[in-house]
Amino acid sequence: MGIQECRQRGATVWVAGAAFAVLLVQRRHLQRRTDLADKHRLQFDLLCKAMDDPELAEVLDTYDEEIPPGKQRQFLLANALYGNLLHAYRLGTTSRAETLGHLRGICQSRIFRDYWDATRHHRETLPGNSQERRLAVLVDEIVATASEERDNWWVI
């Protein structure tokens, strides 16, 4: 085997190795997206069960104050709405601008703002650099200005 043929085989092996590495990265990325989707689906199923059964909803009652069962069901739906947007944002199926637009609409609801306030201590332990923490900070800002923007909330 000549030097030229050896170089060609070496280059072929290198290209094959690089392609394999790219496939592994893509597979890990796909697996992460699948895992996130599975986690979200399970979380949503659990929230639905809690909304349907007040005794199960008590498991999720971690509020600092007494929340009546009807209001707690509303809070569970608010949590599901927020969780759905967070999930879509994490997966990249909605852009940051789209996510903020949806959140601005949801934050017009007094019930959602009450939920957000009642669960503020839940977010205190989130890592500062996590997507959820960064999004929660933006929701805090939207909630703080929601009552001021009541008539023109859709205008950016």
Q: What is the pLDDT of residues 41-64, one digit of tens each?
A: 888 888 888 888 888 888 888 888
Minimal CA–CA distance to 32: which of 80, 97, 87?
Answer: 87
| Residue 116, number of CB atoms within 10 A of its CB | 24
3-state helix, strand, coil in the chain (%, to 5): 75, 0, 25
Residue 26 confidence (pLDDT) above 90: no
Phi-psi domain of 95 (left: phi exceeds 0; alpha: psi -120 through 50; beta: other): beta
Residue 153 confidence (pLDDT) above 70: no
Euclidean distance between CA atoms 116 and 140, whole angstroms: 8
The encoded tokens of residue 150 equal 């009541």
Q: Tell me the pTM.
A: 0.74
Band the pLDDT of 147: cuts 50, 70, 90. low
Compute CA distances 138 → 97, 100, 146, whole Å. Answer: 11, 8, 12
The encoded tokens of residue 120 equal 């503020």
How much is the pLDDT for 17?
73
